[in-house]
């Protein structure tokens, strides 16, 4: 519930305003939210309050008129928006209680039907009437955002079932989610698999979406990036390290079972699941991906973020995008890695092709790296 501002607090807000204080200063000195301060000041000026007229203007009659204008009497304690929600009670109960959608998603679905109510009112309705939601939040310690364009956090999140025309059935869809640590602008890449090729394809699409490459990538300990998770010395996957080297970014994986190392993307995962994916019907993965990118640019990008109090897309375009490294102009040639044995005829087999290996290495294992243009063979680190 909102905190009701007492009459003496309203008097103090207006007294500070008459004395020449700005809105930020009044918010700090009176402990009243700046939006509330602005609303009472606007109502007071409409009622004839003159900033140069002195504090004697703040009499009880004026304050009573302000309270009635800003907080009109409500017989049942609720306004017109609440009555609108009551009229759509059955639909809200089906969405929030039966289907398990969040109040945010229900707010979006109502808006599509032309029913516009404040999101906070819908949260209160869900908590008080439907019994869904949280009445209190736990205390958290905010982590510094870092420099603009310096870091993007990456994590996989399980979304749900999406039709797959190739197999003729619905398959579980995973979302590779990128969140810029400074602006909170996000990108979602949908995939049925978590292979190295799928992850690198997601990164490629992310660099196109963001228009550049971040300096540092903070991923979860997914197997396609981290071969062996460790609290201090994780061993990274060779294929992904070489990809990072080719694109010019540094990989700094989060510690094992330490979600607070990447809190920005951790908060984005349920937001993507509840706001974008839940309650939607997709034709196939390509359709879902198109709608995901549109959602990132509009619903997620243009909302006012609760922490930064900015629109992520606008903050990103203003302060982060100019600092990113240029987006890759060429496609990445994902190599094949193998450890074949040298046969008696001095040949090895890589990707069903034979290659000769000089030297006396018969019977020994070598490391091979093959792309579309070249095959490199290493023995104990020597090419």
- How much is the pLDDT for 268? 92
Residues facing 251 on adjacent strands: 217
- End-to-end alpha-carbon separation of the chain, Å? 68
* Measured distance CA(347)–CA(212) in Å, rounded: 43
Q: What is the pTM of this model?
A: 0.69
Strands 353-356 and 347-350 come out as: antiparallel
Q: Please list the rounded mean pLDDT of every run of 10 residues in the chain (383 residues).
A: 65 86 84 83 87 84 78 63 88 89 88 88 86 63 78 93 93 95 95 93 95 92 81 78 91 76 87 92 95 95 90 95 93 91 93 89 92 90 82
* C-alpha distance from residue 166 to each of 112, 135, 192, 213 (Å): 32, 45, 12, 33
- How much is the pLDDT for 208? 95
* Measured distance CA(345)–CA(330) in Å, rounded: 38
Phi, psi dihedrals of residue 96, rounded to the nearest 5°: -80, -45
* Measured distance CA(113)–CA(298) in Å, rounded: 18
- Sequence-distant (≥ 6) Cβ neighbours of residue 57 within 8 angstroms: 18, 49, 50
CB 188 within 8 A of CB 272: yes
For 261, other C-beta atoms within 10 Å of its C-beta total 16
CB 62 within 8 A of CB 6: no
- How much is the pLDDT for 1? 42
Of 74, 68, 2, the C-alpha closest to 40 is 68
- How much is the pLDDT for 252? 87
- How much is the pLDDT for 78? 72
* Measured distance CA(109)–CA(116) in Å, rounded: 10
- How much is the pLDDT for 40? 86
- Sequence-distant (≥ 6) Cβ neighbours of residue 248 within 8 angstroms: 213, 325
């Amino acid at each position: 519930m909102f905190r009701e501002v007492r009459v003496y607090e309203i008097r103090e807000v207006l007294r500070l305003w008459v004395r020449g204080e700005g809105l930020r200063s009044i918010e700090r000195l009176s402990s009243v939210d700046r939006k509330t301060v602005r609303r009472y000041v606007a109502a007071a000026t409409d009622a004839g309050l003159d900033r140069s007229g002195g504090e004697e203007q703040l009499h009880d009659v004026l304050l009573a008129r302000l309270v009635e204008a800003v907080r009109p009497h409500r017989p049942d304690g609720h306004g017109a928006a609440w009555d609108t929600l009551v009229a759509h009670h059955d639909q809200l109960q089906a969405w929030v209680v039966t289907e398990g959608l969040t109040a945010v998603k229900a707010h979006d679905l109502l808006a599509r039907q032309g029913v516009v109510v404040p999101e906070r009112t819908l949260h209160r309705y869900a908590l008080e009437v439907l019994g869904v939601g949280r009445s209190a939040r736990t205390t958290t310690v905010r982590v510094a955002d870092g420099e603009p364009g310096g870091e993007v956090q990456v994590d996989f999140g399980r979304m749900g079932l999406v039709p797959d025309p190739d197999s003729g059935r619905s398959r579980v869809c995973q979302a590779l989610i990128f969140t810029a640590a400074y602006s909170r602008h996000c990108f979602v890449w949908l995939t049925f698999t978590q292979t190295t090729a799928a992850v690198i394809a997601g990164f490629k699409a992310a660099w196109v979406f963001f228009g550049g490459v971040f300096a540092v990538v903070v991923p979860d300990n997914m197997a396609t990036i981290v071969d062996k998770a460790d609290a201090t010395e994780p061993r990274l996957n060779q294929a992904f390290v070489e990809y990072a080297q080719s694109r010019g970014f540094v990989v700094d994986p989060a510690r094992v079972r330490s979600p607070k190392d990447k809190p920005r993307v951790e908060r984005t995962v349920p937001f993507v699941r509840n706001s974008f994916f839940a309650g939607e019907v997709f034709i196939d993965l390509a359709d879902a991906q198109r709608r995901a990118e549109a959602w990132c640019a509009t619903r997620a990008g243009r909302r006012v973020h609760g922490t930064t109090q900015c629109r992520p897309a606008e903050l990103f375009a203003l302060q982060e995008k100019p600092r990113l490294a240029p987006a890759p102009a060429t496609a990445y040639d994902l190599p094949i890695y193998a450890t074949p044995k040298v046969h008696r005829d001095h040949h090895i087999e890589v990707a069903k092709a034979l290659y000769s290996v000089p030297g006396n290495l018969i019977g020994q294992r070598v490391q091979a790296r093959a792309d579309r243009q070249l095959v490199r063979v290493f023995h104990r680190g020597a090419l």
